[in-house]
Structure 1
Amino acid sequence: MTKSHFTRFSSGFTLVELMVSLVLGLLVVAAAIQLFMTAQISANLQRAISDIQDNGNFGINYMIEDIRKANFSADIPVIKSGLPYAGIVLGIDNLPSTLTNRSANLLTKKEAEGTGKKTNISSDQLTIQYYVDITGQFDCEGSGIPVNSYVLQRYFILDGNLRCDAGIYPKTVPTGNDATGNPRTHTIVGFGGNGEIVIRNTEYMRILFAVSDDKVIADNISNDPIPADGLVQKNFRYIDSYPTSGTLPRIRGVQIGLLIRSNENVGGNPDIKTRNGSAFSVLDKNNVTVNTIDSNLRQVISQTVAFRNALGSGS
């Protein structure tokens, strides 16, 4: 009797094939994860850039609209220390002597920032004033401005935000004596608080003045044309001595530099963190460093403003 022999064939993957398939699958998954992470970092970076641009450009444009009003309705189109009602308030001599609460701490100052600063160097403080002669005007804190009033607006950094603090005093000079026989005075109303936030996440502010040689005697502006070179970079400088009661060069404009941080954390991008650990250049200041090394995007924004009410006879 003949026995039948059946050959049994088994189907499937060998161990080597399984290992190759597993490795290929892991490579595909790793590539997909890498693409996802790259896209996420790119999206975060784009949001951070948009955040800085929207926040910074909107805020600085709002700020500049007010700064352009500086020196409006002044007796002469000149800004410098010692002149009452001058548009840049460098010292108490730029305010009427009839004001009882003049404070140098609330005026234009270099490195005026106190506690809570976000950088190794304190930010500057800029105080302007302008006259309001029409109804329906509002200061930077949203308060209505009475007609025939002067407005003081102080721009400063507090806890990493650019803020504006506003105060008002009447243009009319008080006359006569009060009930106690002393000369009547005015007070600045509403000045000296924490103000309203104009630009969030602003860690540093630097102020430069566009100055011209003050060669005109006794502020006779009839022969004081605008310099031929206009407001060019060489005219800008940091006046280390402000505020002061001495005579500073005539100021024709201001340059503002801001170091702004994004709300968005650009995590996973080592270049951002490395950049935050280096010094930033804000206008003429080249060694500005942040106290906290994080992964938020930072950008320097600058703007130049010519004082049309302080350009002299050529204005």
Structure 2
Amino acid sequence: MNKKQYGFTLIELMVGLVLGLLIVAAGLSVFIAGQRSLNLQSGMGELQENANFGLSILAHDLRQTNLNTSSSQIVNNKASGSGIIFTTDNLPLSLAGANADNFTKQNNNNSATSVKSDQLTIQYIPQYLEVTRQDDCTEDPADSNCKKDSSGNFKKDTKYYVVDNVDCEGGKIDFKEKRVIVQRYFLKEDSFQIPGQPKAYGLYCDAGNYISGDAEIVGIGKNAQQLMQRIDAFNLKLGVRKPDGKSMRYATINEYLNTLMPVTVTDSDEYYNVMSVEVGVLARSTTPLNSESLIDNNKPYKLVGNNLILNTEQKDGSKFLREEFSQVVAFRNTLGVTE
């Protein structure tokens, strides 16, 4: 009498194994697709947040351009006190030796593209609030303001000019004189680099200040702070009003300085005055997406009229999401002269 056989045949085991592998593969495929989608959405959200937040801060700063300056609401490369600093002509005579590397320039700084990035330098005088404080002093019969207080210490009243705000470096605006604030926006290598990834850049702001009589812009070029991380390019165009006062056009910095307003133009009736600025950044995500086939490192970009391609290091490096962002900022403190 034959005994009954129990269990699976070899064919049944093989079929079960194949079905199991198919189910696992399908689940793994869904997981990988979901992970890629999550990484893509996360990168895009990070990109949008970084660029939009950074541009809003930049635009807020730029709207102060030319505020309370001595330029009579004029912004050009000829007027002393002009809200944009192009040359030493826009500064007091005492600053004739100021470092021109800190002025507004085109194609001035290295970038992640084949073209260097621009640099924008503005100046303004904040709406100061005058306050009086008690400062220490040394007893001096000739100084009637230096008096002994109830604690036996010599004090005198000193006027300070303060603003309930900070400059772009986060420094307090608190002086004994109404000083002019200078802010320089430029691209440079990010202080935090990730090994194995192409060189990263950021948009930085450098702040300084001066009053007429100073031989240098105090603090400029010493403590720049990052406004936006992972910025591959920073370019701008100037919105200028034609001498007839009836029409406007955009010009690059070099076009403005060399073609529209060269040194040979001396008649104020022929001046092209700057009314606005269009700033643009090419931003990228911080996380690489090397598995994303839709990302092409050879893709050309157009930023405020400039045709850009990534440099060789960026092309050969990791894949990142990239997007152009731009914003036009009108200089509120220049519009009055055109009415």
- TM-score bracket, shorter-length normalisation: 0.7 to 0.9
Higher relative contact order (CA 8 A, sep 6+): 1
1:109–1:242 Cα contact (<8 Å) kept = no
Q: Where does residue 301 of structure 2 map in the other structure? A: 280
Q: Where does residue 169 of structure 2 map in the other structure? A: 141
Q: Where does residue 136 of structure 2 map in the other structure? A: none
- Residue 236 of structure 1 and its aligned partner are, at CA, apart by 2.3
Q: Deviations over 1:151-172 (max 9, x none)?
A: 11100000001000011001xx
Query: How does the TM-score come out when normalised to structure 1?
Result: 0.82
- Residue 84 of structure 1 and its aligned partner are, at CA, apart by 0.7
1:258–1:282 Cα contact (<8 Å) kept = yes
Q: Where does residue 157 of structure 2 map in the other structure? A: none
Q: Secondary structure at the match of 1:309?
A: helix
2:184–2:207 Cα contact (<8 Å) kept = yes
Q: Secondary structure at the match of 2:121?
A: strand
Query: Could you tell me which of 205, 210, 215 is aligned with 1:164?
Result: 205
One-letter amino acid matched to 2:33 = T
The number of residue pairs the alignment matches comes to: 279
Q: Where does residue 153 of structure 2 map in the other structure? A: none
Spell out the pairing of 1:15-30 with structure 2 (5 A cutoff): 15-30=10-25
Q: 1:307 to 1:188 in 2, by over 3 A?
A: same
One-letter amino acid matched to 2:120 = L
Q: Deviations over 1:187-236 (max 9, x none)?
A: 21001235000101111101111112123xxxxxxxx57x5xxx7xxx22
Q: Where does residue 207 of structure 1 map in the other structure? A: 236
One-letter amino acid matched to 1:280 = Y
Q: Where does residue 239 of structure 1 map in the other structure? A: 253
CA–CA separation in structure 1 for the residues paired with 2:14 and 2:287: 42
1:133–1:149 Cα contact (<8 Å) kept = no
- Residue 14 of structure 1 and its aligned partner are, at CA, apart by 2.4
Spell out the pairing of 1:80-159 with structure 2 (5 A cutoff): 80-99=76-95, 101-114=97-110, 117-134=111-128, 135-136=162-163, 137-145=165-173, 146=175, 147-159=177-189
Query: How does the TM-score come out when normalised to structure 2?
Result: 0.76
Q: Where does residue 67 of structure 1 map in the other structure? A: 62
One-letter amino acid matched to 1:278 = K
Deviates more, 1:86-95 or 1:12-21: 12-21
Spell out the pairing of 1:219-234 with structure 2 (5 A cutoff): 224=245, 227=247
Identity %: 33
One-letter amino acid matched to 1:295 = K
CA–CA separation in structure 2 for the residues paired with 1:312 and 1:133: 18
- Residue 241 of structure 1 and its aligned partner are, at CA, apart by 4.2
2:125–2:179 Cα contact (<8 Å) kept = yes
1:99–1:187 Cα contact (<8 Å) kept = yes
Q: Which runs of 5+ in 1 are unaligned?
A: 1-5, 175-184, 216-223
CA–CA separation in structure 2 for the residues paired with 1:133 and 1:28: 69
1:101–1:188 Cα contact (<8 Å) kept = no
Q: Deviations over 1:115-165 (max 9, x none)?
A: xx3222111001111112312232111122235111111000000010000
2:104–2:121 Cα contact (<8 Å) kept = yes
Q: Secondary structure at the match of 2:76?
A: coil
Q: Secondary structure at the match of 1:62?
A: helix
Alignment RMSD: 2.1
Q: Which runs of 5+ in 2 are unaligned?
A: 129-161, 190-200, 266-270
CA–CA separation in structure 1 for the residues paired with 2:207 and 2:72: 24
Matched, 1:309 2:333: yes
1:163–1:194 Cα contact (<8 Å) kept = no
- Residue 267 of structure 1 and its aligned partner are, at CA, apart by 3.8
1:113–1:125 Cα contact (<8 Å) kept = yes
Query: Could you tell me which of 6, 28, 37 is aligned with 1:33?
Result: 28
